[in-house]
Amino acid sequence: MKRTLLLLAGLCVAHAAIAQSINPGQNQMRQAERFVQAALGEDCEMNSRTDIPLNSTEPEDVSHFVYDIQYRASYQSAEEPDKHVALYQMFCGMGAYNLQHAFLLRDPETSQFRLVAFSRPKLGLDYADEEQSKLKTPPKIDGYSATHILINATFDPATRSVASHGLWRGIGDAWDSGAWIFSDLDFLLSRYEVDPTFDGAAESGDRKSYVIYPPE
């Protein structure tokens, strides 16, 4: 439990330090909750909570977050004004050491929600031992998939990018980390890094990780 609270504290501090979020109102938040739960079912059951706060900076709280993104679409002329879209970061669930969120985009002109899909590599891993503590060869990309759920995710309005860092077990020696940048109402994969070895190396200086994307 202590590890969970420390993780939540770090995530909430990160949200508090960035640009101010927007408050779309309680009715729109209930609509967003119903939309994401209908779309994702058990993958976003929100730990059966009905009292999830919005834009909370309290370390013990789980929370939804909503941001305004100002952008220019690739098809716009120079004379056209900037566009705006609301990004909803929706709490979906919490385990012992990972926090889960889904992301929605809401078009202010149509008021329609759209679930964001994040592409990521599917990895081929050839372990050298039964404990999966080391690899015979570096990871390889077997293809790509998409996910609607990100682990320990944050959004940075300054760079308009989403980042995630998923722990494969509690001590954090094996993990994956991704980053996606907003572009024309999508989030494009910009970086994916992984440490797939359960070798007990939880300190950053002892870790052996691989940058999978962009490929060298």
- Phi and psi based region of residue 152 (left: phi greater than 0; alpha: psi -120 to 50; beta: remaining): left
Longest Cα–Cα distance of the chain, Å, equals 62
Mind giving me the DSSP string for 55-97?
S---TT---BEEEEEEE--TT--TTSPPEEEEEEEEEEEE-SS
Q: What tens digit of pLDDT does each residue of 40-68 get?
A: 999 999 999 989 999 998 877 899 999 99
pLDDT on residue 5: 35
Neighbours of 200 (CB within 10 A): 12
Q: pLDDT category, 8, cuts 50, 70, 90?
A: very low
Q: pLDDT category, 111, cuts 50, 70, 90?
A: confident
Q: Are 123 and 130 in contact (CB under 8 A)?
A: no
Strands (E), the chain: 65-71, 83-94, 99-106, 113-115, 118-124, 140-147, 149-151, 154-156, 161-167, 175-183, 186-195, 210-213
Q: What tens digit of pLDDT does each residue of 72-89 get?
A: 888 888 888 988 999 999
Q: Are 141 and 132 in contact (CB under 8 A)?
A: no
* CA 73 to centroid of chain Cα atoms: 23
Q: Are 84 and 69 in contact (CB under 8 A)?
A: yes
Domain ranges of the chain: 2-73+83-213
Mean pLDDT of 23-43: 94
- Contacts of residue 67, defined as CB under 8 A and 6 or more positions apart, other chains included, come to 19, 21, 22, 86, 87, 89, 155, 157
**Cut 0.75: pTM above it:** yes
Helix (H, G, I), strand (E, B) or coil at 8: helix
Is pLDDT of 13 > 70?
no
Helix (H, G, I), strand (E, B) or coil at 170: coil
